Structure 1
């Protein structure tokens, strides 16, 4: 009888852990996949139908990234007296409202305010959800599940890539924003009150790092270099994230359906966190991160070096397959290196990342205005990412220096 009760309790606990994970995935789907990244496939429609052009669209994107920057800073510093979960749902409501209102507003200044609000709430929710779900799963002995959490971003990107072309047959750009806002609202109803800050049971985390995808705490000397690489990733990846569909629209074979490139980004991103987490458990986060940076550089360069449909789609796939994997591995490495400082370390690294995301579109917009070519911004992104790889190399060298046993002095 006791064994049956234990089995039922374990099943109930697993179900609760699964609900927390699904709620986290859905929350990231809403605020990142839709709230942040729906702008990319909608951008060409807005440029075609409004006063926006590729340069001013970059500045509008930067309003969102500035908001994300501020949100990440607040999320890591504030005490959140009413609880992290309460604030997730409060800011989720504001985020959904900002998506809906993008379709109701026709003033460029108001768009900037709304994209700022969307970014602010996205930054807060990303940090709080990551902290709640990762802490919950680690305490419950299910840290291997954390790779699934960030798949919500890729699933959101895939969904918007598929939905925007479909919705464009029914509505103009404004109607698409409203439709996506309504979808976000429906999803929010399904996950309401599913996030909890304490698990229904507490189990000791398994000591085997390979099982939990958790490495023992290591020297913090790598954190500045890891943070620098993450900030440079923010600059490099967001240029592709902002202009990829616009570049695809200039390629003759993709002009009728440039959002196909964004669909491929989402399809590659959805499983990427799980795949990269598995790779990191075998070869280590830093080595896997360097591999992901290298593949992302190829993904950024392919569409401009091979300016055709195949080049654009290969670039889209490589970009999608790497950018969320880099987020997953960097956050995991930083969290494990600074054990016990979950919210502050995730908030700090998200802040650095968002700073890069704010700088990237501004630099890209200036390059585009000077050269009148989208390709200049992609070459710039590749150079930035290459620098990020160098920072990871330094972090890895420091790791080896502090973890390899020192040779003992020979005795004579």
Structure 2
């Protein structure tokens, strides 16, 4: 018996909360707490972050080449469990080597969860003409970031950084119960949808390398803020509040962002919307360099949250629509290149910090590569037509 679409959607959102909002991104606000207690370097912190993104890269490549269609529910559950265990184990050791291993496995699991849950939920939404609901699904990442930013200070006050990881894992176990009963792949039993409910004007396949390079530069640039924004706030003498406030703001901004960017893209064009999102993100990355105040850092977090998941949603949808018959291959290529950028970014930023004793050089470089990526997309605007002029 098929689950009601709303329950399936909620199950998908909860899976993103577990594997991405917590499993993948909780490291950002917990990092300064761990560094304060254990005094390991920012370079080491960057390597740990890069281990996570290396795992994400391996997972993304495997999901693109392995035949997963018939086993999506089982594989999704397995990798959610793996994600939860890696979150628990982060709080059970203070070994840098083991942290790198656990973060690698966490990244590996998060790639499988992201792609499998996306496939199950988005295929179902397409089959019932609810494609625009996809923004609600992707909001799970923002909700996870928001929840973790609230819980981390509370858990740290009572249980220190070790108990913070374990407490977040306990929340994940609770959410996993609902994922288990609500998120099941029923698309194999659905009748194939013959007409798409949303028509997206797209450039020809020969334009794909431009999108791929731009998306790789986005992965390289955004992740510097995504890894170190709380540490930047923590080290700023003008930041007088708890630094996790920045992560809370980023999570709040991320929750509605995919829906808003999707609505804008259907009215204005996906390429134009992608360029705007990357331009705003580049500005947000630069703000802590030129506006060194608490307000500046908070606005940086706001712009980060409002764009990073939206950019992923826009780029993935655009890639899929360029060749629907080979959508899995195209999204796999985009995800892999994006993951390569993520892998390089934190280690490079950590090295720059060790040399300059400041994040400014890394932030300027990150803003520059994201802006370059946006510029590479400009030649795609000529391929877009106004959606309102297309036949329904």
TM-based fold match above 0.5: yes
The Cα shift of 1:314 comes to 1.0
1:125 aligns with 2:110: no
User: Does the 8 A contact of 1:158 with 1:265 survive in 2?
Assistant: yes
Determine the structure 2 residue equivalent to 1:359: 344
Return the match for 1:66 from 51, 54, 58. Answer: 54
Determine the structure 2 residue equivalent to 1:323: 308
Return the match for 2:366 from 381, 390, 398. Answer: 381
Determine the structure 2 residue equivalent to 1:3: none
User: Does the 8 A contact of 1:135 with 1:342 survive in 2?
Assistant: no
The Cα shift of 1:391 comes to 1.6
Distance in 2 of aligned mates of 1:179 and 1:204: 42
Determine the structure 1 residue equivalent to 2:388: none
Distance in 2 of aligned mates of 1:346 and 1:157: 24
Determine the structure 1 residue equivalent to 2:26: 38
Return the match for 2:169 from 173, 181, 204. Answer: 181
Distance in 1 of aligned mates of 2:126 and 2:191: 10
- 1:1-400 to structure 2, matched below 5 A, reads 16-80=4-68, 83-199=71-187, 201-202=190-191, 204=193, 206=195, 212-215=197-200, 218-397=203-382, 399=383
Q: Secondary structure at the match of 1:55?
A: helix
Distance in 2 of aligned mates of 1:56 and 1:324: 26
Please give the per-residue CA displacement for 1:142-185, whole angstroms capped at 9, x wherever unaligned.
11111111101111111111111121211111110000011111
Determine the structure 2 residue equivalent to 1:5: none
Please give the per-residue CA displacement for 1:314-372, whole angstroms capped at 9, x wherever unaligned.
11111111111101111111111120334333222211111110011121122112211
Task: Provide TM-score, normalisation by structure 1.
Answer: 0.89
User: Does the 8 A contact of 2:222 with 2:366 survive in 1?
Assistant: yes
User: Does the 8 A contact of 1:254 with 1:309 survive in 2?
Assistant: yes
User: Does the 8 A contact of 1:231 with 1:353 survive in 2?
Assistant: yes
**Distance change >3 Å, CA 81–CA 268, structure 1 → 2:** closer
RMSD: 2.0
Q: Secondary structure at the match of 1:171?
A: helix
The Cα shift of 1:253 comes to 4.0
The Cα shift of 1:51 comes to 4.0
Please give the per-residue CA displacement for 1:356-407, whole angstroms capped at 9, x wherever unaligned.
100111211221122111111110101101110122113334x259xxxxxx
User: Does the 8 A contact of 1:151 with 1:273 survive in 2?
Assistant: yes
Distance in 2 of aligned mates of 1:360 and 1:273: 24
User: Does the 8 A contact of 2:238 with 2:292 survive in 1?
Assistant: no
User: Does the 8 A contact of 1:295 with 1:322 survive in 2?
Assistant: yes
Determine the structure 1 residue equivalent to 2:390: none
Compare 40-49 and 335-344 and name the one that shifted more. Answer: 335-344
Please give the per-residue CA displacement for 1:219-245, whole angstroms capped at 9, x wherever unaligned.
212211111111111011100011100
User: Does the 8 A contact of 1:140 with 1:201 survive in 2?
Assistant: no
Please give the per-residue CA displacement for 1:187-208, whole angstroms capped at 9, x wherever unaligned.
001110422333465474655x
User: Does the 8 A contact of 1:264 with 1:316 survive in 2?
Assistant: yes
Compare 16-25 and 93-102 and name the one that shifted more. Answer: 16-25
User: Does the 8 A contact of 2:28 with 2:227 survive in 1?
Assistant: yes
The Cα shift of 1:298 comes to 1.1
Determine the structure 2 residue equivalent to 1:8: none
Q: Secondary structure at the match of 2:47?
A: helix
User: Does the 8 A contact of 2:201 with 2:384 survive in 1?
Assistant: no
Rg bigger for which structure? 1
Task: Provide TM-score, normalisation by structure 2.
Answer: 0.93
